[in-house]
């Protein structure tokens, strides 16, 4: 079994998410799908997490039941949709929204206490990558600070920033090198790769040792493309 996750980011409306999910459910009804699939729509398009073949997760939430956190949603809003999965630490939230490691760790601790499945992202910039493997690994470890690696519902996604949205994924050698080293630290925690995964490369990426799944952005936003990704990962 592999884990295939789709991150819609700031794409799709509620209506188009509904259409996407209905089509996906029909597609998966006709397939023998051995994989675990999670869709992360934008917050305004969260749907009841009641599909048979995949789960709906949230791209973001604040570490609170409810309260005064303008612009955020908390546990109460997620529970309304029976959402039990959350993305934390995506590079766009770290870099653009300024989420610090401490903030990610606080979010993690809260939602781990709530028994959420947590897709926790790490990934280095091109500048860090260019400093070499050792610096990259030190950086990636710093992004795990404060994260309880023995949490049973933790999934880690390695997403090098330089490969995200660029259309050019890390090479198979690069993925293998980092995943092998990360696995030494992470043990049995499922480790996904993300960064320009698409129908054409998903199968070879998933066949690598140490890759337990993929987190897909742009190539998952069109339902046909996402179904191709799934077909190529069966
Ligand atoms: P991408 O995005 O597939 O468009 O590179 C991946 C991600 O940011 O999760």
CATH number at residue 149: 3.20.20.70
Q: For residue 32, is pLDDT > 90?
A: no
Structural tokens at position 186 = 């992470």
Q: How far is the CA of 67 from the centre of ligand 1 (A)?
A: 31
pTM for this model (two decimals):
0.97
| Residue 167 labelled as part of a binding site | no
Q: β-pairing, 55-56 with 85-88?
A: unpaired
Residue 135: give the domain boundaries: 3-231
Q: 135: left (phi > 0), else alpha (psi -120 to 50), else beta?
A: alpha
Three-state DSSP state, 7: strand
- Our answer on whether the CB atom of 215 is closer than 6 Å to any ligand 1 atom is yes
pLDDT digits (tens, 9 = 90+) for 80-136: 999 999 999 999 999 999 999 999 999 999 999 999 999 999 999 999 999 999 999
Strand partners, 119: 87, 155
The total of structural domains in the chain comes to 1
Give the list of residues 6+ apart from residue 166 with CB closer than 8 angstroms, or none.
195, 196
Verify whether ligand 1 is closer than 6 Å to residue 217 (CB atom): yes
Task: State the angle between helix axes of 14-29 and 223-231 in degrees (0 to 180), rounded to the nearest 10.
Answer: 30
192 Cβ closer than 6 Å to some ligand 1 atom: no
């Amino acid at each position: 079994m592999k884990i295939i996750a789709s991150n819609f980011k700031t794409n799709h409306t509620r209506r188009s998410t509904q259409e996407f999910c209905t089509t996906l459910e029909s597609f998966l009804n006709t397939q023998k799908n051995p994989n675990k699939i999670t869709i992360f729509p934008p917050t305004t398009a969260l749907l009841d997490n009641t599909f048979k073949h995949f789960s709906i997760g949230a791209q973001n939430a604040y570490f609170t039941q409810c309260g005064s956190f303008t612009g955020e949603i908390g546990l109460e809003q997620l529970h309304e949709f029976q959402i039990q999965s959350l993305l934390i630490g995506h590079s766009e939230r770290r870099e653009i929204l300024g989420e610090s490691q401490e903030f990610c760790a606080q979010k993690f601790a809260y939602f781990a206490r709530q028994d959420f499945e947590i897709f926790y992202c790490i990934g280095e910039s091109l500048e860090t990558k260019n400093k070499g493997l050792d610096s990259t690994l030190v950086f990636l470890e710093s992004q795990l600070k404060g994260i309880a690696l023995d949490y049973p519902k933790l999934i880690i996604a390695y997403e090098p920033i330089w490969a995200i949205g660029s259309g050019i994924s890390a090479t198979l050698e690069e993925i293998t090198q980092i995943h092998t080293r990360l696995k030494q630290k992470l043990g049995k925690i499922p480790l996904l790769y993300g960064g320009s995964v698409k129908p054409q490369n998903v199968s070879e990426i998933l066949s690598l040792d140490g890759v337990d799944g993929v987190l897909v952005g742009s190539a998952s936003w069109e339902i046909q493309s996402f179904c191709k990704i799934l077909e190529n990962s069966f």
